Amino acid sequence: MLIGDGIGHEIVPATQRVVSAAVTAAGSDVEWVELPLGLDAIESHGTPIPDSTLAALDALDAWILGPHDSAAYPEPFRGRLTPGGVVRKRFELFANIRPARSLAGVAATVPGMDLVIVRENTEGLYADRNMFAGSGEFMPTPDVALAVGVVTRQACERIAHTAFELARTRRSHVTIVHKANVLSMTTGLFRDVCREVGERDYPDVRIDDEHVDAMTAHLVRRGADFDVVVTENMFGDILSDLTGELSGSLGTAPSINSSETKVMAQAAHGAAPDIAGHNRANPTALMLSAAMMLEWLGDRRADRHLAGAAHRIRDAVRATIASGVATADLGGLASTSEFTETVLARTLRR
């Protein structure tokens, strides 16, 4: 596990306790390896993402990444690729899976929302990850700034397979989001390749597509109608923040980043330095992210113990919030530790 910065010091240990309890209760075990990252790593190793941390991750299949506050890093680290970005790029974590599901006990703008944003995580208009060397954003003169958007058939095909496979486990409906009326070659390629993959390999899955601007309106007006939404990097980042809030709160929005062989649990929210150290942070999103990580591992290893642990965590977190035990951001009175203790008790209940 990588604790990171800010509230990571509270929500990562809380999540570790819940995961350990759930895995043990499900009949298996887990070995934790704590690795330095973020401000603590700058103090101890002179860099926010030490080579020793990356080397250790090489040998691991799964890990939990706490939030990082790179804006608070001293120069020259502040302007560099964030620790999370370094990890995603090194291990080719091409699929960012971000569910948005309304929870009992949490007021939602769109009650009944239960969808998943499947975000291509390696290219698009993100300057920190779309080039082999250097940045996709540059300034040829002090008064001109340019950005390169990258879309490749290979990346489109693999994220499309991820989305359609996921849809088969849900309601068999995939919506492709693009802006092909303006970015006709780049997002048009994304749309066309995703549709080709679906029509060729997943004839049982219903396919439609939407322009990203129209999609924002559809999500607000009828977000409960969507199942799996697949889109490119920047659109996915923006839409998943929107759906997180529409379904209740970004504080409850989980996320994993995965390749074909490795998975990283990482909540969609940030480090919240303003409340760090006050025992007020909401660990829900990271706990649910860890459940996704366990489920991902369980699926690939055909390990019912890991799948069972994932169900235990989800059920315990949802039941805790539904019972009225919630942190301040959700309108509750529970501290981080009180919320965690309640989830732990429910995790071990059955």
Q: Are 42 and 332 in contact (CB under 8 A)?
A: no
Q: Is the peptide bond before 111 cis (omega within 30 degrees of 0)?
A: no
Q: Is residue 306 part of a domain?
A: yes
Picking from 198, 230, 247, the residue at the C-terminal end of a domain is 247
Active site residues: 126, 179, 213, 237, 241
Q: Is residue 302 part of a domain?
A: yes
d(CA 240, CA 253): 9
Q: For residues 44 and 81, state if they share a domain.
A: yes
In DSSP terms, which residues pair with 258 in a beta bridge? 95, 263
pLDDT of residue 137: 84
Q: For residues 163 and 208, state if they share a domain.
A: yes
Q: Is residue 99 part of a domain?
A: no
Number of domains in the chain: 2
Picking from 221, 247, 273, the residue at the C-terminal end of a domain is 247
Tokens standing for residue 103: 């929870």
Q: For residues 240 and 115, state if they share a domain.
A: yes
Q: For residues 63 and 122, state if they share a domain.
A: no
90: left (phi over 0), alpha (psi -120 to 50) or beta: alpha
The boundaries of the domain holding residue 183 are: 108-247
Q: How confident is the model over 216-231, as pLDDT tens digits?
A: 999 999 999 999 999 9
Q: Is residue 129 part of a domain?
A: yes
Tokens standing for residue 18: 């819940």
Q: For residues 26 and 80, state if they share a domain.
A: yes
pTM: 0.93
Beta strands 256-258 and 206-211, pairing class: unpaired
Q: For residues 131 and 233, state if they share a domain.
A: yes
The tens place of each residue's pLDDT in the chain, 350 residues long, gives 999 999 999 999 999 999 999 999 999 888 999 999 999 999 999 999 999 999 999 999 999 999 999 889 999 998 788 898 899 989 999 999 999 999 999 999 999 999 999 999 999 887 776 777 777 888 999 999 999 999 999 999 999 999 999 999 999 999 999 999 999 999 999 999 999 999 999 999 999 999 999 999 999 999 999 999 999 999 999 999 999 999 999 899 999 999 999 999 999 898 999 999 999 999 999 999 999 999 999 999 999 999 999 999 999 999 999 999 999 999 999 999 999 999 999 999 86
Q: For residues 261 and 242, state if they share a domain.
A: no
d(CA 252, CA 145): 36
Q: For residues 338 and 297, state if they share a domain.
A: yes
Q: For residues 124 and 218, state if they share a domain.
A: yes
Q: For residues 210 and 293, state if they share a domain.
A: no
Phi, psi for residue 95 in degrees, rounded to 5: -110, 115
Q: Is residue 338 part of a domain?
A: yes
